[in-house]
């Protein structure tokens, strides 16, 4: 996923964010079944501004392809402002509750139309 995403407005039809999530050995994780996902977006030290529990699709990575795709609903980011936002994605294994956490940041540039 690129570090900088530029959107004309936070309500626009945004492209998906694609992730290749690796285990500690550098191998892609298989998220094709048995996992649930959530994503928090915020600016520390404040509480998260968005809690996303839908639109996160786990896959099997083939030849380095994405194994997690995040799709955005229209207006989903409408309460965010331009700037750097931090995310935390939690993948929870449904069989035993074990979790994996991925963190990072996104810079949103909501340019005027």
CATH code of 51's domain:
2.60.40
Three-state secondary structure call for residue 54: coil
Q: Which domain holds residue 18?
A: 4-110
User: Closest Cα to residue 70, out of 85, 86, 54?
Assistant: 54
Number of C-beta neighbours around residue 70 at 10 A:
19
pTM (global) more than 0.75: yes
Tell me the per-residue pLDDT of 46-74, one tens digit each, with 9 for 90 and over.
889 999 999 999 999 988 899 999 999 88
Give the CA distances from residue 80 to residues 2, 77, 106, in Å, rounded to whole numbers and listed in that order: 18, 6, 12
Supply the pLDDT for residue 1.
47
Domain count, the chain: 1
Tell me the per-residue pLDDT of 71-93, one tens digit each, with 9 for 90 and over.
998 888 888 888 888 999 999 99
Number of C-beta neighbours around residue 28 at 10 A:
19
The rounded distance, in Å, linking the Cα atoms of 8 and 51 is 22
Residue 39 — pLDDT band, cuts 50, 70, 90?
Answer: very high
């Amino acid at each position: 996923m690129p570090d900088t995403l530029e959107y004309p407005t936070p309500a626009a039809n945004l492209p998906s964010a694609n992730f290749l999530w690796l285990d500690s050995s550098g191998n892609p994780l298989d998220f094709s079944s048995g996992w649930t996902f959530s994503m928090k977006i915020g600016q520390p030290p404040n509480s998260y501004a968005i809690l996303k529990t839908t639109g996160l699709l786990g896959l099997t990575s083939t030849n380095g392809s994405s194994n997690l795709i995040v799709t955005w609903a229209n207006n989903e980011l409408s309460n965010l402002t331009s700037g750097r936002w931090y995310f935390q994605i939690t993948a929870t294994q449904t069989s035993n509750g074990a979790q994996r956490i991925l963190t990072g940041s996104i810079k949103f540039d909501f340019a005027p139309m």
